[in-house]
Amino acid sequence: MTELLVPAYRDSDQLRVNKFYALLSMYPNLDWIAPTLEIADTAALLRARHGLRTPDALQAATAAFSAVTGLISNDPIFERLNRFER
């Protein structure tokens, strides 16, 4: 959500911000997962092992703890990971 909102906030486009909130707060099968100490620890490990930036490491670690089967991203950095595991 953070990455989606940055351009809208830069453009002072509150309508686009509101559209993202409306879409992502009601999107089926989408769960918002708060980071935990365990997720942060796994993110640090992924960052150290794979050279991920902190936001990317947090996304990958959250995916691992959520047992996702995939992660949709335009970021090629995730190609460094074979799968999301803790």
Same domain, yes or no: 20 and 38: no
Whether this model's pTM surpasses 0.75: no
Instruction: Supply the pLDDT for residue 7.
Output: 95
Say how many domains are in the chain. 2
Confidence of residue 85 (pLDDT cuts 50, 70, 90): low
What is the C-alpha to C-alpha distance for residues 25 and 47, in angstroms, rounded to an integer? 29
pLDDT tens by residue, 13-25: 999 999 999 998 8
CB atoms within 10 A of CB 60: 26
| Percentage of the residues of the chain whose pLDDT score is greater than 70 | 92
- In this structure, are 61 and 76 located in the same domain? yes
Can you tell me the mean pLDDT for 42-47?
93
| CA 45 centroid distance within chain | 16
Domain that holds residue 37: 33-86
> Is pLDDT of 71 > 90?
no
Tokens describing residue 68: 């996702």
